[in-house]
Structure 1
């Protein structure tokens, strides 16, 4: 899923000529504390509620204020996870999306990102999560998938993460989510082939294959 598909057409776009009072009204109506400022399809940056909340500013134009994140945006064909990374790295409430010519296309609110991420990992469905400790030179998703499928199950999503160079053992983690909760035979197969299983979550709904990203998004939604 790419950034252009994630754009919320209902999200307001502010102009530099807008007064602070107008911007605050749009923020209240859209229930979001940050909005993009655009002039003739040229993305100028973001304006945030804390910047506009000081007394005596309501009659001033947005052009009087230094805008934030003028160089932070997503390209129209960037993947959802790349957009999520921008949100986390820069603590954004919305992400502007530009086309290949640099023209502003729209913006993606964090709430929309969370919904799409939840859909992508099927967060409401039941299915086992298994975390394997693997060495990078031994890692083969196709081999692991073959072992899973030999037990009549399938890998629905997977996430590979490496702690190198911080982990001196050189081990990495592969998190896989399956389409069933009965994982006894699969665990036995992994053990037989020398794989180290560090975690098994087989009886609870899946919440994430990348918990850190989703936790950050939830924190943004709560503010």
Structure 2
């Protein structure tokens, strides 16, 4: 996917000599969490809407608040997933873009990249969502792929959705298939299954054995 096609240039970045009042008025016009700041054409950073709202007095200039400017950005050559990751890391809905000379050339809007993500096989293809967990030092995506493919399924995508202490939670999108054998294979490799399935024969067998043992103990 060519991210360059999503570069927007309709917002003029703030200069360091801009007044607080002008910044507040600009934020009222645009629904963004941050807006870009430049210094003599070179990118300086991004200023948050909530920070601007607390600035006083309105005649003061951004120069006096430089410590509140955040130096995050992406480059024009980054792939769409790296850009999306930066949106999440910096909790913003506007991402400044720089060229190789560190010059500001425009920005990306979060909604455009969320729409790109919706079109990926991970969300678009019909399939099964499986969440597994394992010690962060013991799992590997090559092992996960091998487990999935050995059960005649296709892995559409996988990502680490959470890290809890030393345990990684990995969310997988698989093609439609008989999930029971895949669940059994993951358990053999010491992965824990974190989401439930209506037909999980392994768990059904464990429940049957537990019920049988309970009846035996009650005799």
TM-score by length of 2: 0.64
Shift in alpha-carbon separation, 1:80–1:195, aligned structure 2, 3 A: same
Please show how residues 44-193 of structure 1 align to structure 2 within 5 Å: 44-53=44-53, 57-66=57-66, 68-120=68-120, 122-123=122-123, 126-134=126-134, 139=139, 141-160=141-160, 166-167=165-166, 172-180=168-176, 182-191=178-187, 193=188
Q: Confirm or deny that 1:200 pairs with 2:195.
A: yes
Query: More deviation in 108-117 or 98-107?
Result: 108-117
Paired residues of 2:46 and 2:71 also in contact (CA < 8 A): no
CA distance in 2, matches of 1:194, 1:55: 56
CA distance in 2, matches of 1:3, 1:72: 18
Paired residues of 1:44 and 1:67 also in contact (CA < 8 A): no
Paired residues of 1:155 and 1:179 also in contact (CA < 8 A): yes
The answer for the alignment partner of 1:209 in structure 2 is none
Paired residues of 2:41 and 2:103 also in contact (CA < 8 A): yes
5+ long unaligned stretches in structure 2: 199-219
Paired residues of 1:74 and 1:98 also in contact (CA < 8 A): yes
Aligned residues between the structures: 198
Secondary structure of the 1:123 match is helix
Superposition RMSD in Å:
3.9
Shift in alpha-carbon separation, 1:184–1:63, aligned structure 2, 3 A: same
Secondary structure of the 2:194 match is strand
More contact order relative to length (CA 8 Å, sep ≥ 6):
1
Shift in alpha-carbon separation, 1:116–1:14, aligned structure 2, 3 A: farther
Larger Rg over CA atoms = 2
TM-score by length of 1: 0.63
Higher share in helix: 2
Q: Give how far 1:159 is off.
A: 1.9
5+ long unaligned stretches in structure 1: 204-223
